[in-house]
Amino acid sequence: MELHNRGVRQDVRELGELLGTVIEAQASRDAFDTVESCRRTAIDYRSGDLDSREPLVRELEDISPHTQRVVARAFTTYFELINLAEERERVRSIRTASQEGTLADSLEAAAADLGESDTETVQQILDDVLIEPTFTAHPTEARRKTVKSKLRTISTDLETLDERLLTDDEAKAVWNSVDAEVTSLWQTPQVRNRQPEPDDEARNVQWYLENTLFDVVGDVYQELDEAIDEPVDGSVDVPKLLEFRSWAGSDRDGNPHVTPEVTANTLERQRSVVLERYRDELKRLSGVLSQDGSRIDVGSAFQVGLEDDRTELPGSASMAEQRYPDEPYRQKLKLMRERLDRIGDVRPGGYDDAEELLTDLEDIASSLRANGAGSVVDAHLGPIYRQVATFGFSLASLDLRDHRQKHTDAITAALERAGIEYDTLTEDERVELLTDAILQDEPVIDLGATDSLSAADARVLTLFDRLGEWQTEYGTEAIDTYCISMTEEPSHVLEVLFLADQAGVVSLPEHSGLDVVPLLETESALSGARRIMGTLFENEAYAQALAARGGTQEIMLGYSDSNKENGFLAANWSLYKNQRRLGEICDEHDVTMRLFHGRGGSISRGGGPMNEALLALPNDTVTGQVKFTEQGEAIAEKYANPRIAQRNIEQMLNAQLRARQDAIEHPTEDVPEAWLDAMETMADAARREYRDLLESDGFVRYFEEATPITVIEDLNLGSRPASRSGERTVEDLRAIPWVFSWIQSRCILPGWYAIGTGIDAYLTGDGSSNAAADDGEGGDADDRMAVLQEMYAEWPFFRTTLDNAALSLSRTDLEIAAQYADLADGDRREQFFPRLTDEYEHAADLITTIGQRDQLQTRDWLGENLERRNPYVDPLNVLQTYLLGRTHLTDVEERTLRLTVKGIAAGMKNTG
């Protein structure tokens, strides 16, 4: 059976031809000819028919600024369209493999693995697993919302052409729609004319939750229920395995624009959206549940619930009985919709929480099953139940976040009015003071008295003052987590607990409405994790708060700043070690650990396939609960298309179920000491080399000259500033623009720099460890290479680390990078670019040798992807370097330069 009418080559060809037609019609024939000439020249050079890029460089430099802008726009739009073609091809692959029963990482495969365990263990695994994707508003999405909307329409049309059997006239009508959207896309500004506001970012995240994830969640659970039936002996209950969270509208770290009003608006809007979706689902269900009440026995539980509703809502009940006589399910559903309408209303009768709605759905389901309508429950009621269990009344729970210094400053100012000089206290004295203050009944500070405080301090106190109101209005679960950036001391965590206590959100020992989450992102914080967490676990006030939250401690690990501080290999090794260390600390104190992985979209910021990352985590850290950030283009790539969204969720569930099963069967990962020593040697050497590069005189200046960082800082990507203080240092620069800039210049050093030096230190015995010799493996380089090859074959952490580095190396293009390096001062270029080149070549050679393969990439699709994209990215890179090298740009040239950033981001499918 043919599932599809088209292929990726046809999509790419026809979309490219259509774009050419639009360019000719909207710009000019001459502009179209220039675009075509640039395209052919770039292809000829890549294919070896030209010896130099010089013809492309000359052509782009000689054309007018207006035509340069057309060229930049043409290639940017091309990538937007080709990304849709590749997305469609991925859907084809998923559907084909599913039909053939060859889909890897599927729920069926996970269920088959679970079937090897006894029923009790399977139930424990299911009970333990909870996956919490957390959407952030970090500015890594280079496309405007308007552009994304148009692209979604084109994507839907491509799906129709590919999957539906159409007449010639019908197919022509659909293609005419594509033509119209591409024309409109060409006429739409690609670059934002204003900086996005936090409300815009929150609405963007909300779109994916409302329009994609809400609809696919029920299908995922239904597939898992069916998959698990056959291989697992006995009956098991599949509980809630997924929960979505968001930082959009609530992350204050470095963003003064996220005010309490923004957070309040986000909470209200998300509740309104999810309640409206529930109303629609219940209305649809009413069309299904038309059973005649005189022919069935609805059961006592259902009848009691219906009578309670009639008592609470007599007017609505009377109308329901008149409209649906002898149709009890429809009457019930009508009253359930009325109860949804009254949530947050002055009228009584609204649902207090999602659990009450779930109870009503359970009563209907039980009644239907008792009347032989189990198939109706499975097909129509089950998905709604899963939606309510997953999204609650908040759509996505919000995490609050701010920098620890903000809390310290606000508490210092507030306590000063109470006669306490907090800033003069030692760390131990601060811990003692905060503990006593939390445990005493009387408040210490008035959160509402902010008149004499600075704006920054008042902002912190006002937030906590409003937090209690929000939890009362929207439910504790709507906003119940507070993440502390740059946590370095136990007092930084207790400060937030103290402010929550003063707000009435915490009332120990009975109640704590807040998970306080330390974000450990610097080397000092990670190495001091035992001291920080051990002090907290043994603290009387914190122990009570932890017990009130069910004994689970969430700890966030920062991948971005750790990488920027230490380099790729050292950061990954530090994170691995410290995850194990944190697991040991939590086990010692009988605390359940939930790791929150602060992953970015790029490899250097913890990106890469999420299922592989979950399977590579140390066994002693896999408690079943896991949380991770989703950012920027990664959100669109994973969740814009419903089928791809469902596939991503299934892969994550597959990985986490298998990882938890393995952790139960093998609680401690058995990693040979020789491997650990080898990693220690490599990481130490890599960190020294990376730090030496960053600390070399002139490197920051080279970074400014050889990348488009100054352009990126001025782009309206997000509401948050690009740097923390406005200073030009690597430490002060946020991780996203740091990575974004290197990706643009095709020298993606954050994803691979110093890994070659690290590996070489182990091979040559120049590091601090001589693991291979000590382990009887022999001391020469060949023996040590054999150890590394064994590590790659058998240790998921090491294999994933090298494969991710290989992805960054594959996407690096040193020829293009050399053009950016030529923009730097001559001496600085000679100081740094050869060093980067040597490290790249050394890393590429060593990784392919360790992996025992001829090419860097391990995925065939990546090679095809790069081959298809590189010739089209080249003109954008060449044009960007030309404009960056100009001392003065006109307004048109400035806009063209910004547009090249967008186009390269689309071509590389990544910003930062």
pLDDT above 90: residue 717: no
What is the model's pLDDT at position 519? 95
pLDDT above 60: residue 810: yes
pLDDT above 70: residue 207: yes
What is the model's pLDDT at position 713? 79
145 annotated active-site: no
821 and 869 assigned to the same domain: yes
What is the model's pLDDT at position 562? 73
What is the model's pLDDT at position 115? 94
pLDDT more than 70, % of the chain:
92
Is residue 405 in some structural domain? yes
372 and 435 assigned to the same domain: no
Contact 591, 552 (CB under 8 A): yes
What is the model's pLDDT at position 834? 97
694 and 824 assigned to the same domain: yes
- State pLDDT tens for residues 398-442: 999 999 999 999 999 999 999 999 999 999 999 999 999 999 999
Average pLDDT over residues 32-56: 94
Q: Which of 334, 403, 407, 564 is catalytic?
A: 564
383 and 528 assigned to the same domain: no
- State pLDDT tens for residues 646-705: 999 999 999 999 999 999 999 988 899 999 999 999 999 999 999 999 999 999 999 999
Beta strands at 130-135 and 625-630: parallel, antiparallel or unpaired: parallel
In total, how many domains does the chain have?
A: 3
Beta strands at 506-507 and 511-512: parallel, antiparallel or unpaired: antiparallel
- For residue 724, count CB atoms less than 10 angstroms from its CB and return exposed for 0-12, middle for 13-18, buried for 19 or more: middle
User: CA 310, CA 329: separation in Å to the nearest integer?
Assistant: 13
What is the model's pLDDT at position 57? 94
380 and 493 assigned to the same domain: no
Is residue 341 in some structural domain? yes
Is residue 482 in some structural domain? yes
Is residue 318 in some structural domain? yes
How much is the mean pLDDT over the chain?
91
- State pLDDT tens for residues 304-336: 999 999 999 999 999 999 999 999 999 999 999
332 and 413 assigned to the same domain: no
- State pLDDT tens for residues 564-595: 888 999 999 988 999 999 999 999 999 999 99
Contact 27, 64 (CB under 8 A): no
SS3 625: strand
402 and 379 assigned to the same domain: no
383 and 428 assigned to the same domain: no
User: CA 501, CA 349: separation in Å to the nearest integer?
Assistant: 31
The full 3-state SS of 408-433, as one line of letters, equals HHHHHHHHHCCCCCHHHCCHHHHHHH
Is residue 602 in some structural domain? yes
401 and 374 assigned to the same domain: no
The count of residues in the chain is 912
User: CA 85, CA 92: separation in Å to the nearest integer?
Assistant: 11
327 and 450 assigned to the same domain: no
Helix (H) or strand (E) holding 173, with range, is helix 168-187
pLDDT-wise least confident of 86-90, 266-270, 467-471, 856-860: 856-860
Contact 712, 722 (CB under 8 A): yes
438 and 499 assigned to the same domain: yes
Range of the domain at 480: 397-637
User: CA 809, CA 817: separation in Å to the nearest integer?
Assistant: 12
CATH number for the domain harbouring residue 608: 3.20.20
Boundary (domain end) residue, out of 340, 370, 391: 391
Boundary (domain end) residue, out of 391, 422, 438: 391
User: CA 229, CA 225: separation in Å to the nearest integer?
Assistant: 7
User: CA 739, CA 601: separation in Å to the nearest integer?
Assistant: 10
Average pLDDT over residues 204-218: 94
DSSP 114-135: HTTS-HHHHHHHHHH-EEEEEE
- Identity at 32, one-letter amino acid code: F
Q: Which of 138, 334, 406, 909 is catalytic?
A: 138
What is the model's pLDDT at position 389? 97
- Reported confidence tier of residue 600, pLDDT bands at 50, 70, 90: low
Is residue 866 in some structural domain? yes
User: CA 319, CA 344: separation in Å to the nearest integer?
Assistant: 23
564 annotated active-site: yes
Is residue 521 in some structural domain? yes
Is residue 874 in some structural domain? yes
On the question of a cis peptide bond just before residue 239, with omega within 30 degrees of 0, the verdict is: no
CATH number for the domain harbouring residue 305: 1.20.1440.90
577 and 683 assigned to the same domain: no
What is the model's pLDDT at position 862? 66
What is the model's pLDDT at position 778? 47
